[in-house]
A = this chain, B = another copy of it.
Amino acid sequence: MNNNLSRVKISDIAQRAGVSTGTVDRVIHNRGEVSKKTRDKVLRILEELNYQPDILASTLASKKVFRIAALIPEAGTTNLFWNAPLAGLQEAWREIKHFGVSLDTFFFKHDDVLSFEKQFDRIIGIEPDGLLVSPIFADQAKKRLFTLKDLDIPVVFINSNIEDQQNIAFVGQDTRQSGMVAARLLDYSLNSGESISIINFISETGGNHHILSREEGFRYYFEPTTSNRQINTTNIYTQEEQKIEEVLTKAIGTDSPRAITKGVFVTNSRVFKVANYLKKHNIQNVILIGYDLLECNIDYLRNNYIDFLISQNPWEQGYKSLMALFNSRIMKKEIVKNQFLPIDIITKENIDYYLNN
């Protein structure tokens, strides 16, 4: 490149091996039509001189486009979380597109396993060079991973993980540990003996792994201690506002038999529903903690109805997923398989510094 003395070129390898640069190219790219003797000699010299290709020149000369497909939930008005990973994906693509990368994004409905399957099969049909997928519906995803492996299509999981698969990377948060963080915050914030309510907004079509895992971590925090805290779980299955209100009244309301509930842990981003309830009923002195920097959650945080939000770094999830695939397959770098993102604790005082992306 610019420092000719320190950068090994294909022509240096060719000269050393006594062959042409065309032959070196054939060896590097496994194009065949090279004798074993010549091939071994070239490989040895490549290693000796630690040849590193000039990615700029390579991309300029190559006609090849690395086509990446992404399969994520569509955001819409009921699933705002997924706007941020999409934005992260798009920014990452903007940074790397001049290396010959194309990105096609496919969406499925968060609560609709059939749309997940349909879109996944469409993607398999176009045989991309790489895939990013949020495998919320784990069984259906698993079935298709074999096909992807046969087609030699590398896969990165984003936000949800499936253990023991051949994905090259997972990018997301350690959900169980995030529950422990929530527990720590509530434990510190409450007086001795004050009890806690866990609120789970459950989807009936599956994909609740995160919620269960967070609760598990939360409860695990209190296990080893001789804690005198009572912890009660309430599962909310309905989407009807009136029904939700009834359940919350029973769980944390002033009519509740658990009238000493002073801390509430909501295991997903719908914490705004609880905040709304507290506001409506003028319930004070309850510490409320939930997930994700949705606009409505941020409003309640700024107005002291939510005390802490735990951010999953959704933008970074999108960004880092695409960068993992790029670094692995184009830059040929080693990548870490499980890329856990920070478990960010957000308060009214630091929220502004998490909104850049």
Residue ranges of A at the interface with B (Cβ–Cβ < 8 Å): 1-3, 54-57, 59-60, 62-65, 98-100, 173-174, 177-178, 180-181, 183-185, 188-189, 191, 221, 287, 307, 340-345, 347-350, 352-354
Q: Show 8 residue pairs from A and B whose CB-CB distance is below 8 angstroms, ordered by the A residue.
A: A2-B64, A54-B98, A55-B98, A56-B56, A174-B353, A177-B352, A181-B347, A185-B347
Residues of chain B with a CB closer than 8 A to A183's CB: 349
Q: Are B177 and A350 in contact (CB under 8 A)?
A: yes
Most chain B CB neighbours (cut-off 10 Å) among A64, A181, A287, A342: A342
Given contacts A55-B98, A60-B54, A98-B1, contact A342 B344 (CB under 8 A): yes
Inter-chain CA distance A2–B340, complex, in Å, is 34
Q: Are B191 and A189 in contact (CB under 8 A)?
A: no
Inter-chain CA distance A193–B178, complex, in Å, is 31
Inter-chain CA distance A68–B20, complex, in Å, is 37
Inter-chain CA distance A183–B185, complex, in Å, is 14
Most chain B CB neighbours (cut-off 10 Å) among A3, A177, A181: A181
Residues of chain B with a CB closer than 8 A to A65's CB: 2-3
Residues of chain B with a CB closer than 8 A to A56's CB: 56-57, 59-60, 98-99
Q: Are B342 and A345 in contact (CB under 8 A)?
A: no
- Closest chain B residue to A188 by CB distance? B189
Q: Are B221 and A349 in contact (CB under 8 A)?
A: yes
Closest Cβ–Cβ distance, residue A57 to chain B (whole Å): 5
Inter-chain CA distance A2–B221, complex, in Å, is 53
- Closest chain B residue to A343 by CB distance? B350
Shortest 6 CB-CB contacts between residues of A and residues of B: A343-B350, A345-B345, A188-B189, A180-B349, A56-B56, A181-B349
Inter-chain CA distance A222–B21, complex, in Å, is 71
Q: Are A342 and B353 in contact (CB under 8 A)?
A: yes
Residues of chain B with a CB closer than 8 A to A340's CB: 352-353
Query: A184: which of B98, B349, B353 is its contact (CB, 8 Å)?
Result: B349
Q: Are A63 and B342 in contact (CB under 8 A)?
A: no
- Closest chain B residue to A287 by CB distance? B188
Inter-chain CA distance A345–B353, complex, in Å, is 12
Inter-chain CA distance A54–B59, complex, in Å, is 11
Q: Other than A1-B98, A345-B345, give 15 A-B pairs with Cβ distance below 8 A.
A: A1-B100, A2-B64, A56-B59, A56-B98, A60-B60, A177-B350, A181-B350, A183-B349, A184-B347, A184-B348, A188-B287, A191-B191, A342-B353, A343-B349, A345-B347
- Closest chain B residue to A350 by CB distance? B343
- Closest chain B residue to A63 by CB distance? B2
Given contacts A56-B98, A191-B191, contact A344 B347 (CB under 8 A): no
Residues of chain B with a CB closer than 8 A to A344's CB: 342, 344-345
Q: Are B348 and A343 in contact (CB under 8 A)?
A: no
- Closest chain B residue to A354 by CB distance? B342
Inter-chain CA distance A173–B352, complex, in Å, is 12
Residues of chain B with a CB closer than 8 A to A342's CB: 344, 350, 353-354
Inter-chain CA distance A353–B343, complex, in Å, is 7
Closest Cβ–Cβ distance, residue A182 to chain B (whole Å): 9
Residues of chain B with a CB closer than 8 A to A60's CB: 1, 54, 56-57, 60
